[in-house]
Amino acid sequence: MKLRTLFTASVLFTSLVLPMTASALDVNLTADLPSVEVMHGGKKVTIMRNQDEKNTINPDFVKTSRKCPPFCIQPGELAPGVETISELEVLHYLKKMSDGDKNIMVVDSRTPDWVEKGTIPGAINIPWDKLNIGKSDPITVQELLEKHFGVKNQDGFNMFDNAKTIVMFCNGPWCGQSPTNIKGLLKIGYPADKIKWYRGGMQDWEVLGLTTVKPAK
C-alpha cells in the first residue's frame, strides 16, 4: 500500500464523526469506525453495515454476467487526473456534504428505475442519459451544469472556477453510466481533479451490507 493511501485513510478516520462507540456494533465500517451520520432529503441517516451476519446480497446484484457491450468491466483508472475511490472516501465526502460543504456533491448517475430500488444516503440522482454530453438535449445539460455542478456560462463559454467536487457512481465495475458522464464532463473542460469516481458503485456498496435509502422526494 502506498504511503499516500495510508495517509489518506488516516485523515478519513479522524475526520469522520463517530455517532456511536465501536463496541455498540458487531459489524463496524472499520475497526475504529462503527457508523457515519449523513443528511438525506433533509433527514439524518446513519450509514452502517447490516448487523445480521447471515445477511446475503441484494438479489439485484447477484448476477455475475451481463452482456458486454454495454455492461463491460471498467478500468481501475478511468481518465488521467480522475481519482478512483472506495467506500471510505465516499463516506468522507458524504459527511462533508452533510456538514454543510456546498462545494461537494455525490451523484447517483443511474436511471430512476434503479434508484428506486435503493441509493446511497446523501446522494443526488442525476440520470446519466440526461447528462450524456454530446447526445442529450444541450439545454437540459446546460441547466444541470448550472443548477447542480456550479458551472457558469459566460458569453457561450462554460466557466469552471466555482465547479463543485463531484463524486460519481452507478451500478458497479460493469456499469458504464457514470464513466460516460465523467468522460463527457472532461471533454467540455471540467477539471479532472474535481471529479472522483466510485468504481465499486451500488454493487460493492450492497456487497458490504451498507445502508441504502429510497431517493429523496
Question: Which distant-in-sequence residues (6+ apart) come within 8 Å of 179 by Cβ?
Answer: 74, 78, 170, 197
- Using CA atoms, how far residue 150 sits from 38, 94, 143, in Å, is 22, 18, 10
Helix or strand holding residue 4 (H, E): helix 3-15
pLDDT at 123: 97
In the chain the domains, ranked by start, together with CATH numbers, are 3-207 (3.40.250.10)
- Report in angstroms the alpha-carbon separations of 3 from 83, 86, 92: 16, 17, 19
Query: Residue 216: what pLDDT?
Result: 72
Q: Measured between alpha carbons, how far apart are the two ends of the chain, in Å?
A: 41
Cell of 24: 455498540
Three-state SS at 153: strand
How much is the CA Rg of the chain, to the nearest whole Å?
Answer: 17
For residue 77, what are the contacts with CB-CB under 8 A and spacing of at least 6?
A: 84
The values of phi and psi at residue 130, to 5°, are -85, -25
The C-alpha cell that represents 172 in the structure block: 458497479
Q: What is the pLDDT along the chain (217 residues), one digit of tens a residue?
A: 444 444 354 445 445 654 555 558 999 999 999 999 999 999 999 999 999 999 999 999 999 999 999 999 999 999 999 999 999 999 999 999 999 999 999 999 999 999 999 999 999 999 999 999 999 999 999 999 999 999 999 888 999 999 999 999 999 999 999 999 999 999 999 999 999 999 999 999 999 999 999 987 6
Residue 18 CB partners (closer than 8 Å, separation 6+): 32, 33, 34, 35
If we measure between CA atoms, which residue out of 70, 63, 36 comes closest to residue 176? 70
